Amino acid sequence: METLYKGKTKDVLRHKDGSIHLFFKDDMTGKDGVFDPGENQVGLTVDGSGRSGLAVSRYFFERLNEKQIPTHYVHADVENNLMQVKPVTVFGKGIEVICRYKAVGSFMRRFGAYAEEGQDLNGYVEVTLKDDERQDPFISREALELLGILTQEEYDTIQRLTKDISDTVKDELAQKRLELYDIKLEFGKDKESGDILLIDELSAGNMRVYKGEDPVTPFDLEKYLLG
């Protein structure tokens, strides 16, 4: 397969039949060898972490498909770290949408004067630009429109999908007595239909999950979820 794009934790490949596939690498975001889904750089490499992230992603994408929530997911080949996806275009140079149930991470670093660590945030949604050079800045609905990145209608659709997807993941985790603190989603537009789709992955790499007082590690998430 041809490599179209090399990402931090995944590469985008094109099969000779034209289909698009994500290759889940064993690189994880974090800092100084410590895993952190809130970090924006590769911090460690762990054998089998790509396969594990793909197995968890497959589980969640299949739940979303059952609920008819539109995603780019087509099929997963877990043993080969490959997920086939629909071709999409992204918004601007890419946006990330965060849904927060508990006040942790960058929310506390910004709003700690007004919030207690761990307080309920009821699925508060915010958007960042994918821009390593500028540390993925937060951006308002108004600025997204001003800069031609999202129309108001697209923003509303993405906000609604983010709530539906995040609530689905939260409910799935709750059935395993796990708690979702926050989750970071990406969206694109289906190149064929123009529909807005959830893209990227759905694994420990883009969510903070707790069991009681303790953060759940990526491999433990797979174990709790898939047995």
Q: How far is the CB of 182 from a copy of itself (least distance, A)?
A: 14
Distance CA 29, CA 84 (A): 22
118 binds a copy of itself (CB under 8 A): no
15 versus 160: smaller Cβ distance to a copy of itself: 160
Selected from 7, 33, 48, 112, the binder of a copy of itself by CB under 8 A is 112
Total binding residues toward a copy of itself, as defined by CB under 8 A: 29
149 binds a copy of itself (CB under 8 A): yes
Distance CA 139, CA 151 (A): 14
- Cα pseudo-dihedral 162, 167, 170, 176, rounded to 10: -140
Q: Which stretch binds a copy of itself (CB under 8 A): 7-15, 25-33, 53-61, 144-152?
A: 144-152
154 binds a copy of itself (CB under 8 A): no
Q: Name which of 219, 218, 216, 214 is nearest 204 in CA terms.
A: 218
67 binds a copy of itself (CB under 8 A): no
Selected from 6, 110, 163, 191, the binder of a copy of itself by CB under 8 A is 110
Adjacent-strand bridge partners of 28: 44
Q: How far is the CB of 8 from a copy of itself (least distance, A)?
A: 17
Q: Which stretch binds a copy of itself (CB under 8 A): 20-28, 46-54, 116-124, 169-177?
A: 116-124
Distances (CA, A) of 109 to 36, 101, 113, 116, 117: 15, 16, 9, 11, 10
Selected from 59, 138, 219, 224, the binder of a copy of itself by CB under 8 A is 138
Selected from 93, 153, 212, 214, the binder of a copy of itself by CB under 8 A is 93
195 binds a copy of itself (CB under 8 A): no
Using CB under 8 A, list all residues that contact a copy of itself: 92-93, 109-115, 121-122, 124-126, 129, 131, 133-134, 137-143, 146-149
